[in-house]
Amino acid sequence: MPAGDSSTRFSHLIESMARPNDVRGLSLKGLHITMAMRICAVFEAAGRDPVPDLAQRYRSIEAACAVHGLVRTIKQVWPEPFMVNRPCCLAMTPDESTLAALSRAAFNGKREDFSAEVAGFVRADRHEALYNATIHAVALLP
């Protein structure tokens, strides 16, 4: 591949990462997943369990446990620390944007799109665990 092709090949991806997405453009389930990640990060920093707050927020202990399970799975399979913004921030980090895309693919039952979203980033042998945790959380959210 010529040197010029490699520099322009990923330019669209780099440009999209430079412009943060806005949480107001998410579906309700995508927003719930993104905010749950942010809440879990705040609770972890405070040394508290986020499940009671999530259960109150979703009015379901089962949904709270599924979302917290997704968070734990992401912490295990993500190749680097998962970056989140504060709960009050409208902009999304690249990790949050990826999670929103994963949630959308899982909700629509598009396993191939799910794997394509994280291909080359998350090891292929970890896709199944991530997909199962995502689809479980998305299915139980209101």
Whether 62 maps to a domain, the answer reads: yes
Which range among 2-6, 62-66, 83-87, 88-92 shows the weakest confidence by mean pLDDT? 2-6
**12 found inside a domain:** no
Domain assignment present for residue 14? The answer is: no
pLDDT, tens digit (0-9, with 9 covering 90-100), for 77-86: 999 999 999 9
Residue 108 domain-assigned? yes
In a domain, 112, yes or no: yes
Instruction: Look up residue 88 and give its DSSP letter.
Output: T
One-character DSSP codes across 14-37: HHHHHS--BGGGS-HHHHHHHHHH
- Contact yes or no for 101/109 (Cβ under 8 A): no
Query: Mutual orientation of helices 127-140 and 28-46 as an angle, nearest 10°?
Result: 110
In a domain, residue 16? The reply is no
Domain that holds residue 95: 25-140
Q: How many domains does the chain divide into? A: 1
| CA–CA distances in Å: residue 99 to residues 82, 102, 138 | 10, 5, 11
On whether residue 49 sits in a domain, the answer given is yes
pLDDT band at 2 (very low <50, low <70, confident <90, very high): low
**Residue range 22-48, pLDDT digits in tens:** 999 999 999 999 999 999 999 999 999
Name the residue among 24, 85, 110, 88 with its Cα closest to residue 102. 110
77-136 per-position pLDDT tens digit? 999 999 999 999 999 999 999 999 999 999 999 999 999 999 999 999 999 999 999 999
Q: Is residue 33 part of a domain?
A: yes
